[in-house]
Copies of this chain bind each other. A is one copy, B any other.
């Protein structure tokens, strides 16, 4: 084989990330002696030539390195691969489509190739997932799904990672998301302002942090308003499934103490609430008010159209990719924690005024 040995080969041989190799070769940052030795042995074994890379690596502690320096490192990495991976929990949720458009827009600008995987990453399969990222020669990863803190740490020790939508505070992975707590407060307070008190929450699986935060905000606002919430009003779905939501909502509407509002954590679930109300011969919005979440196409297409919380999906994806590029360009760059604003969009499902198509 006449192929030139790259920094990636060294990283693979030593079973560490490219960033760690570059730190050792530049003798700048704290790296454990054992790891350092393994890397230097890999360099020797493979005959990797790295002298000309020294000037390309930013100084340690330079949280805002000179543009040129980071760019140079970025282009060196890019010579070896331009692949970034985006991992999505499911391909069937229309919520992700505009996020992906935003990621593509940023990636194209930086000449990155985007490939998608749809793997439920967990502690059992994280090693296999990392082998996949190696196999694909990925230089960065955007994760949109939920997993344990320790799984995230394993990923970040291997390659640059940015979290999008679902996130933890983590010292090595930036994130872009929204504030689910305040968005939920806005929705519930709006329903209270309409004079309604019997508000039901249609929630997604609690392993997602958005679901935990929206439940907490719902309970807190209801508590502050001195409204006692029967257990049946909190509809906790095991998955974002329209049929399950329909059945559960029909159930609670037929119970002795039915709610008169539904706050659903997705527009598709809100559409199921409208269908369930119609099934029970109740009218939306005169009998029942419904609010969704995300402002996906379905919130406009439903009849009545659905009041919803708009997430800036395109911007979420765009910014996630921009933060990833920043981290690839400069492994020492500070991590960023970004929360983008949401917006309550009022449509027919909560107001009897006729609203025209946007």
Chain B residues, Cβ within 8 Å of A246:
357
Complex Cα spacing A101 to B298, Å: 21
Number of copies: 2
Please give the distance in Å from A8's CB to the nearest CB on chain B: 12
Assess whether A136 is in contact with B301, with CB atoms less than 8 Å apart: no
- Which of A109-117, A173-181, A198-206 interfaces with chain B? A109-117
Given A9-B1, A94-B92, A301-B298, A132 contacting B117 (CB threshold 8 A): no
Please give the distance in Å from A243's CB to the nearest CB on chain B: 8
**Cβ of A165 < 8 Å from any Cβ of B?**
no
Residue of B nearest to A279 (CB): B357
Residue of B nearest to A104 (CB): B118
Please pick, from B90, B98, B132, B275, the residue contacting A92 in the complex, using a CB distance under 8 A: B98
Complex Cα spacing A93 to B93, Å: 10
Complex Cα spacing A241 to B23, Å: 49
Complex Cα spacing A137 to B272, Å: 43
Given A117-B115, A298-B301, A92 contacting B100 (CB threshold 8 A): yes
Assess whether B135 is in contact with A135, with CB atoms less than 8 Å apart: no
Interface string of A263-280 (1 = CB under 8 A from B): 000001001101100110
Complex Cα spacing A303 to B135, Å: 47
Please give the distance in Å from A126's CB to the nearest CB on chain B: 14
- In the complex, chain A residues 135-152 whose Cβ is within 8 Å of any chain B Cβ: 135-137
Please give the distance in Å from A228's CB to the nearest CB on chain B: 32
Please give the distance in Å from A143's CB to the nearest CB on chain B: 15
Residue of B nearest to A128 (CB): B113
Chain B residues, Cβ within 8 Å of A113:
117, 132
**Cβ of A300 < 8 Å from any Cβ of B?**
yes
Chain B residues, Cβ within 8 Å of A3:
1
**Cβ of A242 < 8 Å from any Cβ of B?**
yes
Assess whether A242 is in contact with B9, with CB atoms less than 8 Å apart: no
**Cβ of A207 < 8 Å from any Cβ of B?**
no
Residue of B nearest to A267 (CB): B301
**Cβ of A38 < 8 Å from any Cβ of B?**
no
Complex Cα spacing A132 to B90, Å: 24
Interface residues of A (CB under 8 A from B): 1, 3, 5, 9, 46, 81, 83, 85, 90-94, 96-98, 100-101, 104, 113-118, 132, 135-137, 242-243, 246, 268, 271-272, 274-275, 278-279, 297-298, 300-304, 356-357
User: 16 A–B contact pairs at CB < 8 A?
Assistant: A1-B1, A1-B5, A81-B135, A85-B115, A91-B91, A91-B97, A91-B100, A91-B116, A92-B98, A94-B94, A116-B117, A116-B118, A135-B136, A271-B301, A275-B303, A278-B303
Q: Which 7 A-B pairs have the closest CB atoms?
A: A92-B97, A303-B303, A116-B116, A271-B301, A91-B100, A115-B115, A1-B1
